[in-house]
Amino acid sequence: MELLAGITARRVPTTRLTMNVLERAGDRPDGIPVVLVHGNVSSSLFWQETMQALPQEYRVLAPDLRGFGQTDTAPVDASRGLRDFADDLHGLLEALQLAPAHVVGWSMGGGVAMQYALEHPVLSLALQAPVSPYGFGGTAGPEGRRLTEDDAGTGGGGANPDFVARLEAADTSDDTPASPLSVYRSTYVHAGFESPHEHIWVESMLSTKTGPDNYPGDSVPSQNWPGFAPGRRGVLNTMAPGVFNTSALVDLPEKPDILWIHGDSDAIVSDASFFDLNCLGKAGVLPGWPGEEAAPLQPMVSQIRAVLEKYAANGGRFTEVLLENCGHSPHLEYPERFVAELTAHIGRSGKTA
């Protein structure tokens, strides 16, 4: 595990499992608590540059979620949506006596952050390229209408088996589109983006624990296109719309300020994502697509915006920041802008503990 200057790691026992946590050397114990939650097929390593750059009055930490990085490998109960991860996060913050905190979530970690905020107080919420509040795939319209009762086409069955095999083999090559390095370059960041720490980001991806209990999870047959539905185990199944829905944020009695920051070239979370199998079907990549009425594309960004606008209508506050020529990782692609927006957001909240 390669750490950048000023970043330290330690394992923290909690009531649920032992979690690996990155911290910043020299942070004061009474600093403003800021927690950075990574996304799928990644780990805390991706947050290191952000940790280095955030103001010194913050106490910054970035945990590895279960089954990622150096945290304990434990089964993920997908029937609970993302609650296993959110409960682990709560256990960690309780162990460190850091609750409540400013919680920042990226991609799947944005879903973890939203789930956490539904069940525990937070000082503020920052969502970077988050999963839709209605899950990943299998819904239509800004209201997040479920397409089938079994959420066909979502979950563990949609993972590329070659990509999973290359994670297991710790493949660091770029000789195929399915290698982790190629996937990072083509989907995590915008075209042409370069980083001197690219090897660390790939190392982070390769820390993903694979199998039916972790990534990608299991699947079951379905009579609906494309022939499979999510199982009850593993990471990808946690975001099936039948088990994950955080749109109830709009009804929170105490509404934390929300920052939503995302890129206009995001290949993963968009209104026409090629990670949505209905999009692949419409494009002819997957055969047998039943058409727009039965299998429309999920308007992920529109769903996020609709929920946040309702959040504001119900008395909350949110700020949207859309970055041009930016992919799925604003904190990597435009680090100075990301830190500035996050710092301003935390300042607007007016909360330090």
pLDDT of amino acid 352: 85
Q: Sketch the domain layout of the chain as residue ranges.
A: 7-148+242-349
Exposed, middle or buried: residue 150 (CB in 10 Å: 0-12, 13-18, 19+)?
A: buried
For residues 108 and 135, give the distance between their C-alpha atoms in angstroms, rounded to a whole number: 9
Concatenated DSSP letters of 116-170: HHHHS--SEEEEESPPPTT-SSSEETTTTEESSTT-TT-SGGGS-HHHHHHHHTT
Q: Encode 270-285: b = buried (16+ Cβ within 10 Å), e = exposed.
A: beebebbbbbbbbeee
Position 351 pLDDT exceeds 90: no
pLDDT of amino acid 148: 98
Position 1 pLDDT exceeds 90: no
Q: Using omega within 30 degrees of 0 as the cis cutoff, is the peptide bond preceding 226 cis? A: yes
Position 199 pLDDT exceeds 90: yes
Band (150; pLDDT cuts 50, 70, 90): very high
Rama region for 154: left / alpha / beta (φ>0; ψ in -120 to 50; rest): beta
Position 340 pLDDT exceeds 90: yes
Q: What is the pLDDT of residues 9-50, one digit of tens each?
A: 999 999 999 999 999 999 999 999 999 999 999 999 999 999
Position 298 pLDDT exceeds 90: yes
Position 288 pLDDT exceeds 90: yes
Concatenated DSSP letters of 215-251: EE--EEE-SSTTSEEE-SBSTGGGGSTTT---GGGGG
3 state DSSP class of 187: helix
Q: What pTM did the predictor assign?
A: 0.98
Band (155; pLDDT cuts 50, 70, 90): very high
Architecture (CATH level 2) of domain 7-148+242-349 = 3-Layer(aba) Sandwich (3.40)
For residues 173 and 150, give the distance between their C-alpha atoms in angstroms, rounded to a whole number: 37
Please state, rounded to an integer, the average pLDDT across all residues of the chain: 97
Q: What is the pLDDT of residues 94-118, one digit of tens each?
A: 999 999 999 999 999 999 999 999 9
Q: What's the token pair of residue 34?
A: 């800021």
In sequence order, what are the beta bridge partners of 139?
146
For residues 52 and 7, give the distance between their C-alpha atoms in angstroms, rounded to a whole number: 8
Span 259-277, mean pLDDT? Answer: 97
